[in-house]
């Protein structure tokens, strides 16, 4: 039984990028889909699709993105809030990350969104992970 499906997804993306794979396969959860939507919107990945597997187990195929030198676009992807230590911030505390080059992915009552959107909508929430 896995406790932290988001950390698992981030690790799978990180490992696939290190091995320069085209596609990473993640376990499905709505929160992971939310995180992937932000990654897609911020152009850290080229796309993803949810696949229905056997026994009603869904997986997600993520297409990783590389630059012209075949280096992964994602320099670092890190879990912030963990099951043992949740990290919540209110809207005024969610500022830019890495001088705007990075993205903080926040789980809010408006769904899983990027830090700039959360700041603009004036909503706080749980800091899921950081990407740059």
Whether the model clears a pTM of 0.75, i.e. scores above it, the answer is yes
> For the domain that residue 69 is a member of, what is the CATH number?
3.30.1490.10
- Tens digits of residue pLDDT in 83-103: 999 999 998 888 777 776 888
> Buried (b) or exposed (e) across 117-129, using 16+ Cβ within 10 A?
bbbeeebbbbbbb
Domain that holds residue 78: 5-131
Question: Quick one: pLDDT band at residue 72, thresholds 50, 70, 90?
Answer: confident
Over pLDDT 70: what percentage of the chain? 98
Given the structure tokens 């949740």, which residue do they identify? 86
**What is the spatial distance between Cα 1 and Cα 110, in angstroms, rounded to a whole number?**
29
**What is the spatial distance between Cα 9 and Cα 72, in angstroms, rounded to a whole number?**
16
- The pair phi, psi for residue 27, each rounded to 5°, is -75, 145
**What is the spatial distance between Cα 90 and Cα 3, in angstroms, rounded to a whole number?**
25
- Give the DSSP letter of residue 87: -
- Tens digits of residue pLDDT in 110-127: 999 999 899 889 999 999
User: What pLDDT is stored for residue 3 in this prediction?
Assistant: 86
- Give the DSSP letter of residue 11: H
- Tens digits of residue pLDDT in 9-67: 999 999 999 999 999 999 999 999 999 999 999 998 999 999 998 888 899 999 999 98
Question: Quick one: pLDDT band at residue 70, thresholds 50, 70, 90?
Answer: confident
- The pair phi, psi for residue 52, each rounded to 5°, is -80, 120
* pLDDT higher than 80, residue 1: no
Number of domains in the chain: 1
CA angle, 35 as apex, 17 and 83 as ends, to 5°?
95
């Amino acid at each position: 039984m896995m406790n932290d499906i988001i950390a698992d997804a981030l690790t799978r993306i990180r490992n696939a990028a290190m091995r320069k794979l085209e596609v990473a396969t993640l376990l499905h959860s709505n929160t992971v889909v939310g995180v992937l939507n932000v990654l897609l919107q911020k152009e850290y990945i080229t796309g993803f699709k949810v696949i229905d597997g056997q026994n009603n187990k869904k997986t997600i195929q993520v297409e990783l993105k590389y630059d012209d030198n075949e280096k992964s676009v994602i320099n670092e992807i890190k879990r912030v809030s963990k099951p043992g230590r949740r990290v919540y911030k209110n809207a005024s505390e969610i500022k830019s990350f890495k001088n705007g080059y990075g993205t903080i992915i926040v789980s809010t009552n408006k769904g899983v969104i990027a830090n700039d959107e959360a700041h603009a909508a004036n909503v706080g929430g749980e800091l899921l992970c950081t990407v740059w």
